[in-house]
């Protein structure tokens, strides 16, 4: 039986070169980078080397990189830290309705502290329309957070247009880039963001390392108080081994991202094109014109997403039904519901995230196995039985029209 990872968004294999870079700081160079004596010198150099490597990946300055332990921590630091650092301007923040849980829950935590939160709706493809964002901004708005690309449906936002809107209102803009980094080239200077979050695992680095890129001159309030690490923006001894691995992985990704993007885009296009020819009643989700390379998302009507995942796992295929951070709550995806899909249809979601190591034979195997799995599950489905009787199992049908909007991210 093959072992096929179509869930790279949750966990990707660590590059050999990244693992080798980590080993030195796990076995030999164990010093604290804040120490003044000789043992701290090599770890301190490693941190700054990695800072430059990670900054180059997104076209930032090294001093703009704040190392954290995860993408969720980076998002928490950005949303809470940027909002709390502007007490004199206002207490209103804006997020999109399809943000990652770490952004939405950070916003809700601020609401409990007296902030007002506005969630901007999306269209049927998961796209934030500039006019909707413009309408949500108020004189007391201090922060807008809209993800670069959605991890569940693959839609890439037109960040440049959104950031221009915020800039004209003098409002800070944060973007969660965890789904985009490692799949498309990212240039934060071109995007115009004030803060940008991403994680090492997106570039085949180790879990336990991530970054928040904070534009020079932007004030932020630390969430972890203590020492002066990370230029007073995040206290605590840095995870030197993980950061070193992150840096090496970022440098390798930077050199190969265009090649990886083309490869992943070709494979995911095969799935999105060929699966509906083999399996009826498949609803593709997300924007089909502006989406992440290597990302295929859909709803397979009349079956439960979790059941598909278990049967695929039995066949040696690892896939997902949504964000790994909410995978075990067995609820319909808030992303799909925000896009207007009926609740029952949203529960039939399937998400595939391919990687640089995915192959055509992996795609062939998946396309051969899924139709039989779905046929078996539909025989047990009351929704399918209702459909066969000529009844409509859903009250509404999802719209799949994506209005044309100009994107600056390189399409592959």
Instruction: Give the residue numbers annotated as catalytic, written as ranges.
Output: 325
Distance of CA 50 to the CA centre of its chain: 22
Contact (CB, 8 A) for 320 and 308: no
SS3 205: coil
DSSP string covering 364-385: HHHHHHHHHHHHHHHTT-HHHH
For 194-211, b/e burial (b = at least 16 CB within 10 A) is bbbbbbbbbbbbbbbbbb
315 φ/ψ angles, rounded to the nearest 5 degrees: -95, 5
Q: Which residues contact 142 (CB under 8 A, 6 or more apart)?
A: 82, 83, 86, 89, 90, 91, 92, 93, 171, 172
For helices 240-278 and 16-27, angle between their N-to-C axes, nearest 10 degrees: 150
**What is the enclosing helix (H) or strand (E) of 111?**
helix 101-111
Q: How far apart are CA 408 and CA 186, in angstroms?
A: 10
SS3 197: strand
Give the other-Cβ count within 10 Å of 388's Cβ: 11
């Amino acid at each position: 039986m093959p072992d096929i990872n179509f869930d790279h968004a949750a966990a990707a294999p660590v590059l050999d070169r990244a693992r080798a870079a980590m080993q030195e700081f796990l076995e030999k160079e164990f010093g604290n980078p804040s120490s003044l004596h000789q043992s701290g010198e090599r770890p301190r150099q490693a941190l700054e080397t990695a800072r430059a490597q990670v900054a180059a990946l997104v076209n930032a300055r090294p001093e703009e990189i704040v190392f954290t332990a995860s993408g969720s921590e980076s998002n928490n630091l950005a949303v809470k830290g940027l909002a709390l650092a502007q007490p004199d301007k206002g207490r209103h923040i804006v997020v999109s309705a399809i943000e990652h849980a770490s952004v939405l829950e950070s916003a809700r935590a601020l609401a409990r502290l007296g902030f007002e939160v506005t969630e901007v709706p999306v269209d049927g493809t998961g796209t934030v329309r500039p006019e909707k964002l413009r309408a949500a901004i108020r004189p007391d708005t201090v922060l807008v957070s809209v993800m670069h690309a959605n991890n569940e449906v693959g839609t890439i936002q037109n960040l440049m247009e959104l950031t221009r809107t915020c800039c004209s209102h003098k409002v800070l803009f944060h973007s969660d880039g965890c789904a985009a980094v490692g799949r498309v080239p990212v240039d934060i200077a071109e995007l115009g963001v004030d803060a940008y979050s991403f994680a090492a695992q997106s570039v085949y680095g180790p879990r336990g390392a991530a970054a928040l890129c904070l534009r020079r001159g932007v004030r932020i309030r630390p969430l972890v108080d203590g020492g002066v690490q990370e230029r007073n923006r995040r206290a605590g001894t840095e995870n030197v081994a993980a950061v070193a691995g992150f840096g090496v992985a970022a440098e390798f990704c930077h050199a190969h991202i265009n090649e990886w993007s083309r490869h992943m885009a070709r494979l995911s296009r095969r799935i999105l094109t060929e699966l509906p020819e083999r399996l009826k009643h498949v609803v593709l989700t997300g924007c089909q014109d502006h989406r992440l390379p290597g990302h295929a998302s859909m709803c397979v009507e009349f079956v439960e997403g979790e059941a598909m995942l278990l049967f695929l796992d039995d066949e040696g295929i690892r896939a997902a039904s949504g964000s790994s951070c909410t995978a075990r709550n067995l609820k319909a995806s808030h992303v799909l519901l925000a896009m207007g899909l009926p609740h029952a249809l949203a529960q039939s979601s399937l998400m595939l995230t391919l990687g640089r190591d995915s192959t055509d034979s992996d795609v062939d195997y998946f396309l051969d196995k899924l139709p039989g799995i779905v046929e078996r599950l539909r025989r047990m489905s009351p929704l399918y039985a209702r459909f066969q009787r000529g009844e409509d199992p859903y009250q509404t049908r999802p719209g799949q029209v994506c209005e044309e909007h100009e994107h600056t991210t390189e399409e592959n």
